[in-house]
Amino acid sequence: MTNTLYDALLLPHQGREKTFLTLKDGRTITYDAFLRIAARFANAMTKLGIGSGDRVAVQVKKSPEALAVYAACLGSGAIFLPLNTAYTPAEVEYFVTDAEAKLLICDGSSAEALKPVANKAGALLLTLNADGSGSFAELAEGMPQILSPAPRGPHDLAAFLYTSGTTGRSKGAMLTHDNLLSNAEALAKAWRFTSSDVLLHALPIFHTHGLFVATNTILLAGASMVFLPGLDLDDLVAWMPQATTMMGVPTFYTRLLSDARLDRDLTRHMRLFISGSAPLLAETHRDFEARTGHRILERYGMTETNMNISNPYEGERRAGTVGLPLPGISVRICDPESGAEVPAGEIGVIEIKGRNVFKGYWRMPEKTAQEFRPDGYFISGDLATKDADGYVTIVGRAKDLIISGGYNIYPKEIELLLDEQPGVLESAIIGVDHPDLGEGVVGVVVAKAGVRLEETILLAGIAGSLARFKQPRRIFIADELPRNTMGKVQKAMLRERYATTFMSS
Ligand code: MCA
Ligand code: AMP
């Protein structure tokens, strides 16, 4: 019996005494120890009656045990559903209910707030804390440390990752074992990962970047990670001399550049810096090279597809571009309306086909169909050009999306909440330049006749329903929203009007 991902990523490491994770405090966890935790967790899930295809929703702080829950889901055949730790109980309720999760694992500190959510959704609620304790860990305590992985084939589902939509309703992207394995294989090869690598890992593990791009690639290569709780410059500086590679969103690089300790000496041991999830300014690319001698390798991906396009490891890493299609992945730039490929140099929407492309949105066959061309290409919604050498440059988005510090924020979700606030006639959410986060969220609100709105009251009104990172950092009250002749709000005009909002922050 085979289990595509478990067999490729985990089983080869059974009994291996090599360090898999080094923690902030210097503690290390070997591959063998990690697999034993994962086996206990998987056996605990099986005991709870969780089997192949059941969804396990997880909102826990980053820790080796949190990562072992992912490995345990692969081994037990369950579908892993990671959730941003910033999500409010109201947001979690949507995901757990929509996915019909059988089990919700959360941090002990949020158990009280999530109890009604789990009850309503019919999910069992257990806890796992950052120090590895909690009711789930207790349940797994005496379980066998060896696992017979549940049979899972390449086209079986491994994970659901929710991504919001322009309608404001989140969609569960269904990722198969083959989607994830094929991408890990492509990345390990393209970026030359070997068992000698040590990845500086300071990303969250509830999104594609920190989870699949980083972790699956490392597992496949049999390499190690310095596994840090988050982005803290002192930690990065302290651990960089032990590492060979780092993956980060552009904010990682702008923050490092703001630190005088970043220089050639600090990065001497590194062989590769990778950036993605949001646009890396060409200026950041150049400044980083000037300070360290390293040319950042920028790549492009999506939750639905994992990674698609990457600058080359050898060959020219062109600042401001995301590079060339990864081997085995077909990429074309097309007219958004007709779907016809546009000539080199012209702007079109990026379309992708390959083993990496997801199976569809959970229980949304119509939405899924809308986002694929009849010949199987997935329509990304990102606008780009391709030059004569095949390098792709992302120039904008056909979708109304803000990316702040690498997190995606869908304006519609916030507009719907603002529109419900007392006295609000209508609202628009835009992203404008932010020196640290790339884009910062701004709200523009129009009051109903005779009402005087206040920014602080509006912010307080939506705070309970929205993760903090989605909440506008400023809300402006306007007399009206600019509209075109079709009545559509002209967000480009608003972005221009409020362009300098964060310039001094
Ligand atoms: C934290 N805050 C944010 C963000 N992060 N606000 C807006 N955007 C953000 N990204 C807020 C907090 O709510 C808090 O607000 C304050 O900022 C400080 O929080 P803290 O946790 O201390 O922030 P930080 O540690 O400085 O985090 C910033 C960060 C982090 C390092 C940029 O957001 C991060 O790790 N981002 C990476 C996201 C990621 O992994 N994306 C990949 C998605 P207050 O103080 O007011 O309470 S996968 C993807 O996109 C595709 C597939 C791809 O291509 O990879
Ligand atoms: P997500 O929905 O979180 O998977 O985010 C995917 C989106 O992030 C893509 O559709 C792009 O808009 C954006 N993205 C990812 N990598 C890059 C990059 N290197 N440059 C610009 N945008 C990127």
User: For ligand 2, what atom is nearest to the CA of residue 394?
Assistant: 21
Residue 505 has pLDDT above 60, yes or no: no
> What residues have CB less than 8 Å from 392, skipping those under 6 apart?
300, 309, 321, 322, 323, 324, 325, 331, 333, 350, 384, 385, 386
Note the ligand closest to the C-alpha atom of 307: 1
Residue 116 has pLDDT above 70, yes or no: yes
- Count of CB atoms situated within 10 Å of the CB of 479: 6
User: For ligand 2, what atom is nearest to the CA of residue 302?
Assistant: 4
User: For ligand 1, what atom is nearest to the CA of residue 210?
Assistant: 40
Instruction: Assess whether the C-beta atom of 164 lies below 6 angstroms from ligand 2.
Output: no
% of the chain surpassing 90 pLDDT: 97
- Look at residue 374 and give its three-state secondary structure: coil
Instruction: Assess whether the C-beta atom of 393 lies below 6 angstroms from ligand 2.
Output: no
Residue 72 has pLDDT above 80, yes or no: yes
Query: What's the 230 CA to ligand 1 centre distance in angstroms?
Result: 9
- Count of CB atoms situated within 10 Å of the CB of 435: 13
Residue 328 has pLDDT above 60, yes or no: yes
Across the range 9-32, mean pLDDT stands at: 98
Note the ligand closest to the C-alpha atom of 379: 2
Query: What's the 303 CA to ligand 2 centre distance in angstroms?
Result: 8
| The CA-based dihedral angle spanning residues 494, 495, 497, 502, taken in that order and rounded to the nearest 10 degrees | 130
Query: What's the 481 CA to ligand 2 centre distance in angstroms?
Result: 28
CA-CA distance, 498 to 495, in Å (whole number)? 5
Instruction: Assess whether the C-beta atom of 302 lies below 6 angstroms from ligand 2.
Output: yes
Question: Mean pLDDT, the chain, as a whole number?
Answer: 97
Across the range 256-273, mean pLDDT stands at: 98
Q: Model-level pTM? A: 0.97
User: For ligand 2, what atom is nearest to the CA of residue 298?
Assistant: 19
Angle among Cα 123, 127, 130 to the nearest 5 degrees reads 140
User: For ligand 1, what atom is nearest to the CA of residue 299?
Assistant: 54
Instruction: Assess whether the C-beta atom of 230 lies below 6 angstroms from ligand 1.
Output: yes
Residue 166 has pLDDT above 70, yes or no: no
Note the ligand closest to the C-alpha atom of 247: 1
Q: Which of 169-173, 183-187, 248-252 has the lowest mean pLDDT?
A: 169-173
Residue nearest to atom 10 of ligand 1 (CA): 405
Across the range 284-297, mean pLDDT stands at: 98
DSSP string, 402-452: EEETTEEE-HHHHHHHHHTSTTEEEEEEEEEEETTTEEEEEEEEEEPTT--
The domain 402-497 having CATH identifier 3.30.300.30: the answer here is yes
Residue 158 has pLDDT above 60, yes or no: yes
Instruction: Assess whether the C-beta atom of 415 lies below 6 angstroms from ligand 2.
Output: no
Across the range 171-192, mean pLDDT stands at: 98
Across the range 419-430, mean pLDDT stands at: 97
Residue 424 pairs with which residues in a beta bridge?
447
Write out pLDDT tens, residues 383-410: 999 999 999 999 999 889 999 999 999 9
- Count of CB atoms situated within 10 Å of the CB of 312: 14
The position carrying tokens 């947001």 is: 91
pLDDT the model gives residue 317: 98
Which of the four pLDDT bands, split at 50, 70 and 90, describes residue 504?
A: confident
Ligand 2: which of 166, 252, 277 to mutate, judged by most atoms within 8 Å of the beta carbon?
A: 277
Helix (H) or strand (E) holding 225: strand 224-227
Note the ligand closest to the C-alpha atom of 278: 2
State the CATH architecture for 31-153.
Answer: 3-Layer(aba) Sandwich (3.40)
3-state secondary structure 259-300: CCCCCCCCCCCCCEEEECCCCCCHHHHHHHHHHHCCCCEEEE
Domains 31-153 and 402-497 share a fold: no
Query: Which amino acid, one-letter code, is at 92?
Result: V
Ligand 2: which of 300, 305, 311 to mutate, judged by most atoms within 8 Å of the beta carbon?
A: 300
CA-CA distance, 451 to 152, in Å (whole number)? 59
pLDDT the model gives residue 169: 78
What residues does each domain of the chain span? 31-153, 402-497
Query: What's the 407 CA to ligand 2 centre distance in angstroms?
Result: 9
